[in-house]
Structure 1
Amino acid sequence: MAEPPKTAVQQTQQSSPAKLILANFLTTIFVVGLILFLLWLGLHPHFPSFQIQSFSVPGLDQLNGFRNVNITFNVTVRNPNRSTWIHYESIDGSVYYKDQKVGVKPLLYSFNQPPKSTTILQQVFGGTVANNHRWMEIMNDRTEGTVKFSVRLASFIRFKKSIWDRRHHRMHAECDIDVGPDGLILPSSVHDGCPVNLS
């Protein structure tokens, strides 16, 4: 004799344990994932931030290239982390016009930067001699009103938090700068943030 068909209530009662186990499993996964994400946010350090404050290249109107030019700039380095120190092996700086390096100099030697602190990098570069072709390009840009330079900063850094110490990273920051005919940074480039990459 055939069994009578099961009612909807009976089907629900039979499937409830499986649904309850699945719901508990998914809830556990969600809670564990949320805890891990919050821990990652707390431990994952933020990159240092760099901002251009000033930049000048006096003597852009001279005829002998960068031979006697002193390039002056001021860059601030900010550690935005709440409790993580940043250790810099050193910071080397170079100034480029397009693809040609026109100045290079060590800026800071090994130092530790406390959380929520700012370090000022203020240096004077003795410009190297640009070739005639590049110097003519600079003169043409100056005539048009804007000469584009870039300050490139490089260092090996390590994030330090209590006894937790991450591996060294190669850091690169590049600050693009627009300079007027007088050799002074244009207002549009002041306080401009510099992209930072770690490898």
Structure 2
Amino acid sequence: MQDSSRPVTGYPVQNLNGCAPPPTGYAYARVNPIPHPYYPAPPPQDPRSTFLRCLLAAVAVFFIIFGTILFIIWLVLRPQLPDFSIQSLSLSNFNAANQRVNATWNAQIQVSNPNKKLYISYGEVVSSVFHKDYLLSETRIGPFVQGTRSSGAVGASYSMVDSFVDGEVVGEMNEERRGGEMKFNLKVLADLAFRYGGWRGRRRFLTVWCDDVAVTASSGKMTGGPKKCSVY
């Protein structure tokens, strides 16, 4: 008779305490790991496009630095617009009839530079005389330079010789003349630049408007004293 205490072939050996021995292998087949994804190599860059991008970036940086420098200069110097005023205006040889006008105006315009550090260079200066908003005559004033904290008078002469003028304007001027006082408007357009030593700011256009400058019909002299003008 076979000894029952010997283990049966083909069955796992049990420990004396009745537990099965630990497994000696995996119960399932080994799964292969997921392979790494494939990333294709980037295409080669065009050297011309790289150069263009670098050039644009350099230009942008240059303008930013240049603009910052100009802004700092503006903060330090603080340019202020000049002041204009009409000191005197005279009218002579006035005659208006049949839509034809003859007249001569002579004006003295006071120009003041309020800047402490900047002097002003005036290029082309054009001045005009109006009756209300109707242009009568214009003249040119020569270039000039104005130092810091300085004032000076600029002369301007306007003339009309047998010039055609709208009939309504002629009627209004004759009516004012009969009333004893005539009013005119003066306009100045100036091309100027602020300067500080060797530094010169960009040129800009200045508009000056002097309205309702009155002269007497009898003597043609300006009434009411100097008159301040609007500058913009």
| TM-score greater than 0.5 by the shorter chain | yes
1:125 aligns with 2:125: no
Deviation, structure 1 residue 147: 2.0
Q: Percent identity?
A: 24
**CA gap 1:121/1:64 in 2 versus in 1, 3 angstroms:** farther
Q: Which residue number corresponds to residue 173 of structure 2?
A: 138
The equivalences for 1:152-191 within 5 A come to 152-176=187-211, 177-182=213-218, 183-187=220-224, 190-191=225-226
Partner AA of 1:95 in structure 2: V
Confirm or deny: 8 A CA contact 2:96 2:174 kept in the other structure: no
Residue by residue over 1:28-51, the C-alpha shift from the partner in whole angstroms, topping out at 9 and shown as x without a partner, is xxxxxxxx99x83x4111111111
TM-score normalised by length of structure 1: 0.70
Partner AA of 1:179 in structure 2: V
Confirm or deny: 8 A CA contact 1:66 1:102 kept in the other structure: no
Deviation, structure 1 residue 66: 6.2
Confirm or deny: 8 A CA contact 1:60 1:139 kept in the other structure: no
Partner AA of 2:77 in structure 1: L
TM-score normalised by length of structure 2: 0.61
* 5+ long unaligned stretches in structure 1: 1-35
**CA gap 1:184/1:112 in 2 versus in 1, 3 angstroms:** same
Partner AA of 2:159 in structure 1: G
- CA root-mean-square deviation: 2.3
Residue by residue over 1:176-197, the C-alpha shift from the partner in whole angstroms, topping out at 9 and shown as x without a partner, is 212222222112xx32111101
**CA gap 1:137/1:50 in 2 versus in 1, 3 angstroms:** same
Rg larger for? 2
From the two aligned structures, give the one with the greater helix fraction. Answer: 1
Secondary structure at 1:69's aligned position in 2?
strand
- The runs of at least 4 consecutive aligned structure 1 residues that moved more than 6 Å come to none
* 5+ long unaligned stretches in structure 2: 1-70
Using the alignment, how far apart are the partners of 2:145 and 2:155 within structure 1? 18
Using the alignment, how far apart are the partners of 1:118 and 1:90 within structure 2? 19
Using the alignment, how far apart are the partners of 1:167 and 1:96 within structure 2? 30
Count of matched residue positions in the alignment of Structure 1 and Structure 2: 157
